Structure formats: C-alpha cells, structure tokens
C-alpha cells in the first residue's frame, strides 16, 4: 500500500494523537475555533460531520517535530538530516492506472466547490478558503512541473480566487502562459501524505520537481494518474483533486485573509481559478491547514533549516541544533562556541543564507532550541543587551512590508562568555538522567 493521508492518520491514531469530533460542526463559525484548541493540544482533529458537506475534514497532521519525524520514518533529532538525504536521493514519480482519487468523478455542473467542507478560518476573512491545496502546474516554456501551496477563496460553485504572483514560481509560470494569451491548466490535490506537503512547501530552483523530492522523503515514488479534464498528471492517492485553469487576463478581488503572521492581508486583485472537474475517493477526507499554525511552520521550516545549517557549518562553527519558530521569520541556533564573538558570526551567517530570517537567537549547547521558554531563559539570564544585540539596519527580511516592520534584522548572542563555564553551569537535580513520571505516579 502506498503511503497516503490515511496510512499516516492511522499511525497517528495508533499513538493516541487523533481527536474525533462526531458532532455536526459549522465550518463558518465553529471549526476555526476548534482548530485553535487542537493547536494547543497538539493533536490532529478528524471532523466526521461538517455542515453542508458529505466529506469528512482533517486538520493538524504534523503539529510537532515528532509527527514530522513519524511522517519521514526518522527520529525527531534526525529530521533535518533525513530531509537533506532526500534532497540528494530524489525518486521520480511513476504513472499508474489504478487511482483511488478517481473513484468518483464529477464533471461540468456536477462539479461544485460548495460541496467541499471549506472553512472560514478567521472572523474577518472574506469567506471560506482552501488552505491545504497542493497546486500542480506545468511551465509552458520548459514543460517542467511545479508544485506549491496557494490559498484559494471560494467565489462561486466553479470559481475561486487564487493567490499567486511572481517571483513565486507558479506566478512566473502563469505569467508566461498569460503572455501567450493562454489560460494555465492546474490541478489542486487536497489530502496528501505529509511528505508530499513538506516537498510542496519547499522552494526548489525552477525546473526541479517537488514530487521527486516527495519520493525521496517517502522512500518510494509518488504515484500519478492522468487528470480527467486537464493535460496534467495528478497524485493518484490524494483524497480529492480539483482540476481546472487559472484564467489569463483576469484579476478579481480576493481577501481579506488571516495570514501566517496572524494579521489580515487586505483585499487584493488576484488570479481566478475556474473549475472543470472534481475527483475524489469514496468517503473522502478533505484537509485544511491554518496559516501560521505549528503545522504550517513545521512544513515550511524544515527545508529552510537545512539552508541555515549549511551556512552555520560553512562558517566553521560546531552546530548542535537549530529550529525555526514561532514563525519562519525567527530562528534559535545552539552551538558549541569556541571563541568570543563566534555567536554573532553564526547569526550573521544564518541571516545571510536565509533571506526571510529577521530574528536570530544564538545559544549554548545546553539550551533546548525546540523550547521557546528555554531559549527566552537564555536571553534573559545570559545576556547584557548592550553587547548581545546586533541590529542589521536597512536589510529587509520579508518583502511584503507596507508598514516597515520588517526593515531590519537582529542577531541576539544569548551565549555565556567563553571560558566561564563554571560560573554559568545550569543547576540540575541530583541522581543523573530524567525519570519517567508515569512509572512513579499512583494510578487513580
């Protein structure tokens, strides 16, 4: 059996990481609030009765590093290495004839986006959105495939606004088609294995196939089948595929939308998707994601961490660990420092390698970069701000910045002075390694 959303959901369920919601839920007023609770619980949520749709809905498949590791068949500490290995060992997708995603085919007027369990994520969003859609398109110039995430706002039974513009590759591809007066055929796969989502969230150079990376991450090729209404291959084991085209020369209002920085992006004139077919499994499980959630940061973060790790190692530093978060504009890096000022050099190397990195905190090897409380402890306990903070002025970190809040970057050296280990040794309980509390607590 090929790895897909269902096989992964079963793995989560075996570990007690799935919460089932069997009461009917309103996707406009209730699901978004329940998604926030699932974020806090760090559990996946499976909604079996969503008002207005016959499809189930799943959310929060990879809210932790441990669940990302589970998706990759790796240990949590080896996630970055597993991703780097997959980059070197990509597996090209294969074409098949048996496609579970085409068990049900709806064409023409039978294909209606309103049949999907689309969620209104934030109270001021312009409407319900598709947020977990993996968009597949082919460059009309090179014939190469591109795979990416793009938000889509419901605009009618067969229309949706789609957010894409250059320099994002899909925007470049659509611009080329548009210059030739052509619509751009696209397919949107919803409900795929997290390895496929991780690949789609990776910014590969133009012409490199994200599905080959997905194959490397899975350890098996992604299975593809020909679309029923577009000249594209689509993931055979997805839950749902939406086929159609992004229209040439058409821009319509889209937004507001609560974006990944937890603010609303305003209404913009964005591209328009026109639906030609919906195919899906019997009893499909639709997927949604929340912009800026832990799941979103986990999917976007791993590939960018690999870039930062390479830069840190190239500086000559001994990297212990690193983590992006709580947004992909911030990073915590642990090193085994060797000389005064090395932490600042590491931070500068990181922000030079990753153009969106705005805040970089460098800590000692005894700090857990996956625990924001531990990182913030180091900042407050081990730094003198006048010496620890290096602001890089006039170096924008994020291009969409009409208010000037991303116009500079900062490196925070939260390491203790080199050679003063004894003075800054952290207190520990006596007796050695940690104990498992569950072995000591009296059951009720």
Question: How far, in Å, CA of 230 to CA of 243, rounded?
Answer: 7
Phi, psi of 301 (to 5 degrees): -80, -35
Q: What residues are paired with 323 via a beta bridge?
A: 332
Report yes or no: 5 and 193 within 8 Å, Cβ to Cβ. yes
Report yes or no: 361 and 331 within 8 Å, Cβ to Cβ. yes
Report yes or no: 149 and 136 within 8 Å, Cβ to Cβ. no
* Closest C-alpha among 114, 85, 101 to residue 27: 114
Residue 156: count other Cβ atoms within 10 Å of its Cβ: 12
Report yes or no: 220 and 2 within 8 Å, Cβ to Cβ. yes
Report yes or no: 221 and 92 within 8 Å, Cβ to Cβ. yes
Q: Is 384 exposed, middle or buried (0-12, 13-18, 19+ CB in 10 A)?
A: exposed
Handedness of CA 79, 324, 46, 211 (dihedral sign): negative
Report yes or no: 243 and 279 within 8 Å, Cβ to Cβ. yes
Question: How far, in Å, CA of 309 to CA of 324, rounded?
Answer: 11
Phi, psi of 428 (to 5 degrees): -135, 150
> Does residue 259 have an active-site annotation?
yes
Angle at CA of residue 252, ends 111 and 287, nearest 5°: 45
- Give one DSSP letter per residue of 20-31, joined into a string: EE-S-B-TTTTH
Question: How far, in Å, CA of 29 to CA of 36, rounded?
Answer: 12
Catalytic residue among 26, 81, 98, 259: 259
Q: Calculate the CA 393 to chain-centre distance.
A: 29
Angle at CA of residue 288, ends 283 and 289, nearest 5°: 155
Residue 123: count other Cβ atoms within 10 Å of its Cβ: 10
Q: Provide the 8-state DSSP code for 119.
A: B
Report yes or no: 342 and 309 within 8 Å, Cβ to Cβ. no
Take residue 166 and report the two structure tokens written for it. Answer: 């250059």
Question: How far, in Å, CA of 385 to CA of 268, rounded?
Answer: 40
Give catalytic residues, as residue numbers.
Answer: 259
């Amino acid at each position: 059996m090929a790895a897909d959303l269902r096989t992964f959901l079963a793995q989560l369920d075996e570990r007690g990481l799935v919460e089932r919601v069997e009461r009917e839920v309103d996707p406009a007023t209730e699901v978004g609030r329940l998604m926030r609770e699932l974020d806090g619980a760090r559990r996946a949520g499976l909604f079996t009765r969503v008002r207005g749709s016959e499809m189930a809905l799943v959310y929060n498949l990879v809210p932790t590093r441990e669940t990302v590791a589970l998706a990759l068949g790796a240990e949590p500490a080896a996630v970055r290495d597993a991703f780097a290995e997959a980059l070197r060992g990509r597996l090209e997708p294969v074409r098949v004839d048996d496609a579970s995603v085409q068990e049900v085919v709806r064409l023409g007027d039978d294909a209606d986006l309103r049949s999907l369990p689309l969620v209104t994520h934030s109270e001021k969003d312009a409407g319900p959105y598709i947020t977990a859609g993996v968009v597949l398109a082919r460059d009309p110039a090179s014939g190469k495939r591109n795979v990416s995430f793009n938000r889509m706002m419901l605009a009618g039974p067969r229309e949706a606004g789609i957010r894409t513009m250059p320099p994002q590759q899909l925007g470049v591809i659509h611009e080329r088609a548009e210059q030739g007066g052509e619509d751009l055929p696209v397919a949107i796969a919803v409900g795929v294995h997290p390895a496929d989502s991780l690949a789609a969230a990776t910014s590969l150079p133009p012409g490199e196939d994200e599905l080959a990376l997905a194959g490397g991450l899975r350890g098996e090729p992604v299975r593809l089948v020909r679309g029923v209404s577009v000249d594209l291959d689509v993931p055979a084991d997805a839950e749902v595929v939406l086929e159609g085209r992004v229209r040439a020369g058409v821009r319509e209002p889209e937004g507001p939308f609560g974006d990944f920085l937890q603010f609303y992006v305003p209404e913009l004139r964005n591209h328009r998707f026109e639906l030609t077919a919906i195919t899906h499994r019997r009893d499909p499980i639709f997927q949604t994601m929340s912009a800026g959630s832990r799941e979103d940061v986990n999917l976007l973060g791993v590939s960018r961490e690999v870039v930062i790790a390479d830069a840190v190692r190239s500086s000559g530093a001994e990297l212990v660990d690193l983590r992006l978060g709580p947004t992909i504009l911030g990073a915590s890096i642990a090193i085994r420092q060797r000389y005064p000022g090395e932490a600042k050099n590491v931070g500068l190397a990181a922000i030079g390698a990753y153009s969106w990195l705005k805040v970089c905190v460098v800590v000692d090897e005894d700090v857990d970069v996956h625990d924001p409380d531990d990182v913030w402890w180091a900042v407050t306990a081990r730094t003198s701000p006048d010496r620890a903070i290096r602001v890089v002025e006039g170096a924008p970190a994020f291009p969409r910045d009409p208010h000037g809040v991303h116009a500079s970057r900062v490196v925070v050296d939260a390491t203790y002075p080199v050679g003063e280990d004894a003075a800054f040794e952290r207190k520990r309980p006596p007796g050695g390694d940690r104990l498992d509390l569950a072995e000591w607590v009296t059951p009720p």
